[in-house]
Chains A and B, each alone.
Chain A
Amino acid sequence: MRREIPLAITFITSLIIIVSFFIPHAPFGTMQEISLKWYAIIAGFTMLLGVDSLIHMHSQKIKRKKSGWVYSVVLIVGFAVFVVAGTISGFRYGTAMDINSSFMYLYNYVIIPLQSTMFALLSFFIASAAYRAFRARNLDATLLLITAVIVMIGRVPIGNQIWHNFPAIAEWIMAIPQMAAKRGILIGISLGYIAVSLRIMLGIERSYLS
């Protein structure tokens, strides 16, 4: 019983969406509207799913004093500070998103530096990988590296100064060969989506229920 009902729900809801795509007439149009609205509300709750396991895991780590529990304390404190700041801002401004609220202040001076620096690290890793790992070991990798060099130089102002046609060559590579290959891959991927969606709809693929 615990498996049949969910599979039936999945089949019926996707059928509603597909049928109302083709038949705009009375019952289906409104059915699609309602189910899309309900989907949005339920999807809103899924944003909360990760929070519990995170707090649970780290509070366990603190309780049992496992190695690195100090960092878990920092994590929980950071979490608490944001929740408190958000609640206070909510009461003062009606929303946490007001430009002068403490919540936005913390966003500007804590989340922006942390997240943007985390990804800025990648530029260093790319540089060291370019030096130590990217080798033209076969014709494919050679072709890749040559195109990469042309595009990297062509797309930036220095390319234009080396040879004024460089940017146009880089643009040609992007718009013709690169586009054609990406279109081929895109067609393959969307056929894949159709296949996976069909399998889920008909209950052949059930891993999402595990």
Chain B
Amino acid sequence: MATIAQAIRMALHYGEKNLGVTDVFGEDVGPPLGGVFTATQGLETAWNSPLDERGIIGAAMGIAMAGGKPVAEIQFADYIFNTIDLLKLAGNLHWSSYGQYHLPMVVMTPVGAGIHGSIYHSHSFESVASHIPGWKIVAPSNAKDAYGLMIAAIKDPNPVLYLKSKALMRAVGDELIPGEPADKRALDSMINAPVGDRADWQPRWPEGLTDYTIELGKAAVVRAGTDVTVISYSRMLPLCVAAAAEIEAETGIRAEVIDLRTLYPLDMETLEQSVRKTRRVLVVNEDTEVTNFGEHVLRKLIDRCFYHMEAPPTLLAGVDVPGIGLSPLLEDASVPQPAQIKEKILELAKIPA
């Protein structure tokens, strides 16, 4: 049973061995550290870049132009905001070169709160990112998806942004990734770098890793229900699932929880089908609420099924404040908490038809 960090590591290993990944790079991505969350330990193609996010994105674009397949990391999404112009260029070069160039590149970056990261280790990125045309965006909430979405991102010939929740990085899934050993300790001893001197360390990769792919643009109904649709992803997803389970146990109200997994392009079919059924929809994410990606999801649903909605299509998101404070009291008051998620679901469910 891998953590999400291990799942990413294994997918990147599979990618460099089988899918043509040429460079996994970024700040502290190579040895000895292998990434601030260990997601790139032991990889053959991993290397440390200068501390220069613009240089990282630019280099990834150049590598992709010259036939390489880079996976570039921005150490924290909090530090990606000086590269938006470059991300826009990466997203428009295919279009503006009239289809001559395309950029098979992956950019991965940790997002969200939940680790007492204070203002600059807590940023979300989906709202700004989804406004940049030409990028596909994924945001896994469990290890198996983390693997399958990374494989899909690598295979895609277009720029793909891979958002990984900092707080979930050590979360262990409950589904086995095809090919991984079931014993967590065994896996740890094979692919985790030792503490201390690791100059001579070599990972032993599981033999049976596969091409397991989660198609981009496909959401997953992770908990079936009939009374409210709850749409989420990344760190908020398990909180929504837990809230739904509690609510069902306590009240019998059955919320359907959908894990978007891919934020762009949206799986409108799955969403619409659910909302037409439940006639109530809540989107939950932790980005700040003004011009929030969840508002886009709601608008798309309104375009398709307004007349089926019996309650206001609702967003539960981060409060419109300039940052997440270090004090836990500040953080908790700034991003959705389990109690608020429950409350919102119940509120929507209880609105009379």
Same complex for A and B? Answer no
